[in-house]
């Protein structure tokens, strides 16, 4: 068994440099690597390119990096919950590349799996396809999209073991598994870190081979963005 | 009288057939789930990674690890499953989802749709919409017939950046049900009490009116 | 919940016609759809194109279809355990397309996920790339490979529920999940068919949306091809 | 004296470093697992969908749902995982596997490898070998130096259909350890008691001999 455990977030985040490209798992505020984000804020690294489906909210998630203007460029599919983001984008302070959500997922998956490029129908005929190669297969048009190239992927899992095997919970799974192994170094924080052998090998979502560092996360806030409930009868 | 958002959702719910997997966009489409007939079997997919969504949770039972693509807390029904984003879009791109219902800022008579960006004013992003409209065979748009300034949202040509081209099959607005055909918007039904003339006035794109147009039945 | 259950293998296999393209899960004899194969032998459909990593052994698995000369063309990555296969291939009776195993998996995955084509390094510079488009990305060469187009996919899962959700066991998983939803109709046989709600939604390997028909399989032989054991001390 | 298959495996085992994920091909490569130092941590991947393979099962404990890519019954160690074929080749193609050891019929001085087909005689198929050799940075070939007819398997140019081009980094045979360099096979070590002349005679491809060639140490 190859051990991937590091003792804390400080060591897990070693090696981050100004100007690097970082991936972050999560959808909205669900399944985001809270500990790693806090550490990157603390490290005050800047000129970062961040790949993440969303950009957090004003005072949480990647919004914390935006507040401190650590982000030079955002690659996302939806950023609609963040006023500071919108301000920086419209003023031109922040470079933003908006891409279809499925394309975002597959550009991660391609990086993980050694595919340099793939054809997808998403965005054909729109400004997303501008400057990109397009091509017809079986009478339908597709856009050529490339694998991401990133330095770090920051992942949040539910349970993990010392070998780096991961299990995600509910819809906190989202982009997290797709980003594992999609960057040079994959750093995972977990709610529960277990000894090797504690996870059923049949139920592992992501094998440890895609993970370089794993650590026990702390103090999860797990904020809810849109609390929607029913009244009990 | 023009339909309320709930009524638009109720009318669209009639398009949902037994055995359909359905993806609902944010806004009016989300309401459709409330009006689907109880005697048919339907599963709702949300692109953030859940199939078999149920109603909102009871107060106090919400789980931050269980949300839909609108970031709302949800529940699941028996037979539900969770999956990652890549698999979620395999469902969508691979045409395993039978019906997609989404909102729009503009729809053209060719079936083009714009719903993600107003240059210089608002850019929220396309989210999963571009994958959905590029892939799905069966796309219904739910929206108001006109914008807040009273201008038609059913156009000859979209003025905003497109989300997808030639993909919308049907539009249900507060005034009418329309099908996109080779020649433009074919008027199928009108809201109860709304006249064909009102619809003509509110529609900039080519409107095809064949014979008597029935009122919607819910 | 959308119910996918059919009562038996006869109904599960309805619609198979001569000349169709069929996918079969399994690696060697592990995780093969034994019930469906027996039924296709019984139906005596022929001129079939079969996509399967292997071709079974002489008297089991797809070897049973080969014996009865029901297969016109085999698309596989490795066929080394089958003398009848080798005879039919070398004599020219059987048309064979051998492709890299990872390419086979990804051509299934592409069909499942609506990707018409992808670039892979496997086979570049070999006869596998002959007649195919090749292309350089970042200094390395790749071959353009296309998604499969198949009529039926026959899948073997361990547990399944009425909604078509599937869990596979051990290395019997192999190509089975990749083939689900990669053909027009996906037919699944399971060792244990459970009511909806019996499977943890977090542990489902393949959601029911990729499955059209599911049935309770019977009389699994689960032959072992290479029995290798250690002596107890 | 020329090495036995076990000795070839034993020598190759020295190339396996702490923290490596290793994929072992069928034949001699499979034997390598038996000789890896016990004080280092290594995980074996098998492309049919398992990481963390252990030894063969005890008699009576074999499981038909638990095999390796050679279709042999196996066991798993703590920290193991199962996955589907597409994910398995994402590990391989994505260069997450650190070392690939496989057999060959022919290797050329340019690092080309042929191991899947003899036209008109034998076609077993390439299995996962083409993905492995096209992707891995670190590929070691384990094979006999000559074929049954006594002809060299280390050639200027492969005569059989290729599995991959310019990919082999090292070759360990019953006679020698050789590295593939720009100029051909660089002789690194010779089997105990085997002379450089014997290796020269058994090697058709360009052989580079710099200085005194040490005997292998196990």
pLDDT digits (tens, 9 = 90+) for A149-202: 999 999 999 999 999 999 999 999 999 999 999 999 999 999 999 999 999 999
- B216 occurs within a structural domain: no
Give the CATH number for residue D47. 3.40.1080.10
- Reduced 3-state DSSP string for chain D: CCCCHHHHHHHHHCCCCCCCEEEECCCHHHHHHHHCCCCCCCEEEECCCEEEECCCCECCCCCCCCECCCCEECCEEEEEEECCHHHHHHHHHCCCCCEEEECCCEEECCCCEECCEECCCEECCCCCHHHHHHHCCCEEEECCCECCCCCECEECCCCCCCCECCCCCEEECCCEEEEEECCEEEEEEECCCCCHHHHHHCCCCCEECCCCCCECCC
Is B59 noted as a catalytic residue in this protein? no
- Looking at the 3D structure of chain D, how many domains does it have? 1
> Can you give the pLDDT at residue B123?
81
Could you say which of D78, D89, D93 has the minimum Cβ distance to residue A197?
D78
- pLDDT tens figures, A48-62: 999 999 999 999 999
Q: Chain C contacts of D95, Cβ < 8 Å?
A: none
Are D118 and D127 within 8 A, CB to CB?
no
Residue C53 and residue D67: Cβ atoms within 8 Å? Answer: no
C81 has a pLDDT exceeding 80: no
Average pLDDT over residues D71-100: 97
> Can you give the pLDDT at residue D120?
82
Average pLDDT over residues A18-37: 98
- pLDDT tens figures, A189-218: 999 999 999 999 999 999 999 999 999 999
Q: Left (φ > 0), alpha (ψ -120 to 50) or beta: where does C219 sit?
A: left
Residues of chain B that touch chain C, judged by Cβ-Cβ distance less than 8 Å = 19-21, 41-43, 45, 50-52, 76-83, 86-87, 89-97, 135
Contact C175/A at CB under 8 A: no
Contact C167/A at CB under 8 A: yes
Q: Chain D contacts of C158, Cβ < 8 Å?
A: 65
C13 has a pLDDT exceeding 90: yes
- D70 occurs within a structural domain: yes
Q: Known catalytic residues of D?
A: 47
Q: Chain C contacts of D164, Cβ < 8 Å?
A: 124-126
- Please give the average pLDDT of every successive group of 10 residues along chain B, which has 218 residues: 95 97 93 94 97 95 96 97 98 97 97 93 90 95 96 98 97 98 97 97 98 93
Q: Tell me which DSSP letter residue C5 carries.
A: B
Residue A114 and residue D80: Cβ atoms within 8 Å? Answer: no
Phi, psi of D204 (to 5 degrees): -85, -40
Are B52 and B77 within 8 A, CB to CB?
yes
- B32 occurs within a structural domain: yes
> Can you give the pLDDT at residue A87?
87
- D169 occurs within a structural domain: yes
Class of domain C9-114+148-216: alpha beta
* Confidence band of D177 (pLDDT split at 50, 70, 90): very high
| Touching pair D, C by Cβ (3+ pairs < 8 Å) | yes
Q: Chain D contacts of A196, Cβ < 8 Å?
A: 78-79
For residue C4, give the 3-state DSSP assignment.
coil
> Can you give the pLDDT at residue D122?
79
A81 has a pLDDT exceeding 80: no
Average confidence score pLDDT of chain A: 96
Q: Tell me which DSSP letter residue C165 carries.
A: -
C97 has a pLDDT exceeding 80: yes
- D215 occurs within a structural domain: no
C89 has a pLDDT exceeding 90: no
Are C187 and C152 within 8 A, CB to CB?
yes
* Pick from A133-137, B116-120, C224-228, D94-98: least confident: B116-120
Average pLDDT over residues C133-141: 97
How far does the CA of residue A202 sit from the closest CA of chain D (Å)? Answer: 5
| Touching pair B, D by Cβ (3+ pairs < 8 Å) | no
C117 has a pLDDT exceeding 80: yes
CA nearest neighbour of C120 among C129, C111, C130, C112: C129
Q: Where are the domains of chain C?
A: 9-114+148-216
Residues 22 to 81 of C: which have CB under 8 A from any D CB? 27-31, 53, 76-81
- Beta-strand pair B122-123/B117-118: antiparallel
The residues, ordered by sequence, that sit 6+ positions from B97 with a Cβ below 8 Å of its Cβ are B21, B22, B23, B45, B91, B132, B136, C209
> What chain A residue is nearest to D88 in terms of C-alpha separation?
A113
> What chain A residue is nearest to C121 in terms of C-alpha separation?
A115
Contact C161/B at CB under 8 A: yes
- B51 occurs within a structural domain: yes
Residue numbers of the domain that contains D57: 5-208
Contact C228/A at CB under 8 A: no
How far does the CA of residue B149 sit from the closest CA of chain A (Å)? Answer: 23
C85 has a pLDDT exceeding 90: no
Burial of D54 (0-12, 13-18, 19+ CB in 10 A): middle
Phi, psi of A75 (to 5 degrees): -115, 110
**Touching chains, B (3+ CB pairs < 8 A):** A, C
- CA angle at residue A192 from D86 to C201, to 5 degrees? 50
- B213 occurs within a structural domain: no
Handedness of CA D94, D99, D102, D106 (dihedral sign): positive
Could you say which of A81, A102, A224 has the minimum Cβ distance to residue B128?
A102
> Can you give the pLDDT at residue A233?
74
Are C161 and C195 within 8 A, CB to CB?
yes
> Can you give the pLDDT at residue A89?
87
C48 has a pLDDT exceeding 80: yes
How far does the CA of residue B99 sit from the closest CA of chain C (Å)? Answer: 13
What proportion of chain A, given as a percentage, has pLDDT over 70? 100
- D18 occurs within a structural domain: yes
CB atoms < 10 A from the CB of B101, how many?
A: 29
How far does the CA of residue B18 sit from the closest CA of chain A (Å)? Answer: 26
Average pLDDT over residues C93-106: 96
> What chain C residue is nearest to B132 in terms of C-alpha separation?
C114
A44 has a pLDDT exceeding 80: yes
Q: Which of B47, B109, B189, B204 is catalytic?
A: B47
């Amino acid at each position: 068994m190859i051990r991937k455990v590091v003792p804390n977030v400080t060591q897990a985040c070693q090696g981050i440099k100004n100007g690097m490209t970082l991936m972050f798992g999560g959808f909205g505020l669900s399944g985001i690597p809270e500990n790693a984000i806090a550490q990157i804020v603390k490290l005050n690294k800047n000129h970062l390119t961040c790949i993440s489906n969303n950009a957090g909210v004003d005072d949480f998630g990647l919004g914390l990096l935006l507040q401190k203007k650590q982000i030079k460029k955002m690659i996302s599919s939806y950023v609609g919950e963040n006023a500071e983001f919108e301000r920086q984008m419209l003023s031109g302070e922040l470079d933003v590349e908006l891409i279809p959500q499925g394309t975002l997922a597959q550009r991660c998956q391609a990086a993980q799996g050694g595919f340099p490029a793939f054809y997808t129908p998403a965005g054909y005929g729109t400004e997303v396809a501008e400057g990109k190669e397009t091509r017809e297969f079986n009478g339908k048009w597709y856009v050529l999209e490339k694998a991401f190239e990133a330095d770090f992927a920051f992942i949040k899992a539910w349970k993990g073991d010392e070998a780096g095997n991961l299990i995600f919970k509910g819809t906190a799974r989202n982009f997290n598994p797709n980003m594992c192994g999609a960057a040079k170094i994959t750093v995972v924080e977990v709610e529960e870190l277990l000894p090797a052998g504690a996870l059923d090998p049949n139920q592992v979502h992501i094998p440890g081979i895609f993970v370089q560092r794993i650590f026990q996360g702390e103090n999860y806030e797990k904020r809810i963005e849109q609390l929607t409930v029913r009244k009990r009868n | 009288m023009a339909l309320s958002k709930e009524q638009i959702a109720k009318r669209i719910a009639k398009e949902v057939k037994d055995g359909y997997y359905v993806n609902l966009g944010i806004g009016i489409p989300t309401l459709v789930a409330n009006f689907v007939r109880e005697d048919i079997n339907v599963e709702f997919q949300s692109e953030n990674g859940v199939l078999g969504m149920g109603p909102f949770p009871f107060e106090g039972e919400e789980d931050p690890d269980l949300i839909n693509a609108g970031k709302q807390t949800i529940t699941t029904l028996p037979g539900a499953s969770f999956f990652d984003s890549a698999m979620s879009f395999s469902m969508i791109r691979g045409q395993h989802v039978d019906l997609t219902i989404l909102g729009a800022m503009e729809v053209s008579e060719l079936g083009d749709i714009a719903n993600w960006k107003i240059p210089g004013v608002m850019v929220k992003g396309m989210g999963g919409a571009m994958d959905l409209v590029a892939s799905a065979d069966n796309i219904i748009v739910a929206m108001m017939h006109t914008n807040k300034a009273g201008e038609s949202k059913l156009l000859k040509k979209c003025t905003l950046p497109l989300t997808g081209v030639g993909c919308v099959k049907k539009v249900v607005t507060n005034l009418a049900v329309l099908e996109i055909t080779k020649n433009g918007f074919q008027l199928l039904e009108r809201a109860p009490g709304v006249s064909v003339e009102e619809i003509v006035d509110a529609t900039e794109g080519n409107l095809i009116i064949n014979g008597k147009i029935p009122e919607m039945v819910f």
